[in-house]
Amino acid sequence: MNKFVELGLSDLLAKKAHIQGWREPTPIQQKALPAILQGRDLLAIAQTGSGKTGAFLLPILDAIGKKPALQNPAVLILAPTRELALQLYQNVEIFAPSLSLSGALLIGGVSILRQKEKLMERPEVVVATPGRLLDHVRQKSIGFSGIRYLVLDEADRMLDMGFLPDIKKILSLCPTNRQSLLFSATLSDEIHLLAQKLLSKPVLVEINANRDVASIRQVVYRVPESEKPRFLRDLIVDNALEQVLVFTRQKRTAAFLADSLKKDGFTVDALHGDKTQAARLKIFQSFKDRHLRVLVATDLASRGLDIKELPVVVNYDLPLDPHDYIHRIGRTGRAGAEGLAYSFASDKDSYRLSAIEKLLKKKLEVVTPEVFEDFFETIDEKKKLKEHSAQPFKDKKTTLKSRRAPIKRFDKAHDKAKEKRDRKPSGGKDSFDYILPEFE
């Protein structure tokens, strides 16, 4: 018997899931699906990539499919970003028609008029970002009296983005006679508080983030900051990586890196908050359609992106918040598939690396490429000296000299590597100076 049917899902949706290639329910689906079908409120701690969308959408669709007399919209799904809302909506479009149900997507940056027309058709499911939903409330194009199911997806992110007042307003408009589901990647005090307000006797489902990333091979390369663009380019070329999602902390780094890769002949674009919504959606779609080989994205712009079968992600730098590291690498190795996450750590990143290792509760594999060995050796020596130095103040001359030393030594190492590279035929794996695992 189909495993989804065993969990209580209808044959129709179970078949549709099977067609999507969902052979078995993921852990979050196994735990959440029966609870939702029983009508329980739910607090789910799960990452994007765990299959959480299916975990709430399938049972909700099944439930409303069986209650034809509902006033519409009966389901309200809130997401923090437009990209995430779009992805959620794409799932609605896949599954809802099997049960003769329909949906509307209410996000900013696109025509509100078209959305109003869609709402006039009284869809059962509304997927929205808080800002645009409230625009519709103000323009009286949506009513909440029919809402029976309320989902807050990536609630922690919504709070981070300052949506709490909007959420409170939306909650005050929804009928109390409803089933509420709260999904969050982390269980912070704020999420606890929100859960207390929103949920009634909820079932708590927690999917261990560390286990989720277990299927992802993680390698950290020590790379000097200035060498990162070249290292990235070589990594992509020498490993013949078909598609790479690259993360940066800052918008300007993302823009700079995309420009630099474009000059090297890559099909590449950057996804960050300075781009218009329409541009962001277009870029994201074009990466999904494989028209772009490289997508450079900031943490905020990339949150929740769902790209199927993405084999490699690269952390061009390490995020300030170690949870963002898990979100970033969660873009690969999705729903059980194997993934590979490379991180570039310069000497500035070492304390961030420790924070990530603490969160993951394990040491990561750190590789210093041969070409940079001298450079980091000098830095490590300097650090050790500093740590063990009983004398806090050195004379000015020595400090300046030791500051310049690593650059000189690095130049030498760099030249050595260049010589080696020039001697070998270009493009092949042999021409690569860094040790990389085989990429399949």
List of residues contacting ligand AMP (CB under 6 A): 21-22, 24-26, 29, 48-54, 306, 308, 334-335
- Name which of 37 and 436 has its Cβ closer to ligand AMP: 37
Minimum distance between the CB of residue 215 and ligand AMP, rounded to whole angstroms? 12
244 vs 371, which CB is nearer to ligand AMP?
Answer: 244
**Nearer CB in complex with ligand AMP: 51/130:** 51
Tokens of 290: 């494989």
Torsion of CA 422, 347, 321, 82, to 10 degrees: -30
Least distance in Å: CB of 327 to ligand AMP?
11
Spatial contact of 253 and 274, defined as CB atoms under 8 Å apart: no
Between CA 406 and CA 394 the distance in angstroms is 18
| Closest CB 413 distance from ligand AMP, rounded Å | 42
Q: Which is nearer to ligand AMP, 36 or 353 (CB)?
A: 36
Nearer to ligand AMP, 214 or 400 (CB): 214
Measured distance CA(44)–CA(154) in Å, rounded: 10
Q: Note whether 336 and 50 are within 8 A (CB).
A: no
Using alpha carbons, list the distances in angstroms from residue 236 to 225, 240, 246, 271, 312: 18, 6, 11, 19, 10
Q: Between 53 and 346, whose beta carbon lies closer to ligand AMP?
A: 53
Closest CA to 318 of 305, 332, 299, 301: 299
Rounded to whole angstroms, the Cα distance separating 325 from 343 reads 10
Q: Whole-number minimum distance, CB 210 to ligand AMP, in Å?
A: 16
Neighbours of 139 (CB within 10 A): 10
**Dihedral, CA of residue 111, residue 115, residue 117 and residue 118, to nearest 10:** 140
Contacts of 274 (CB under 8 A, 6+ apart): 251, 255
Q: How far is the CB of 367 from ligand AMP (least distance, A)?
A: 29
For the bound state, the minimum distance from the C-beta of residue 341 to ligand AMP, rounded and expressed in Å, comes to: 16
In whole angstroms, the minimum distance from the beta carbon of 20 to ligand AMP comes to 6
The two tokens of residue 346 are 């310069």
DSSP SS3 for 160: helix
Select 21 or 162, whichever has its Cβ closest to ligand AMP.
21
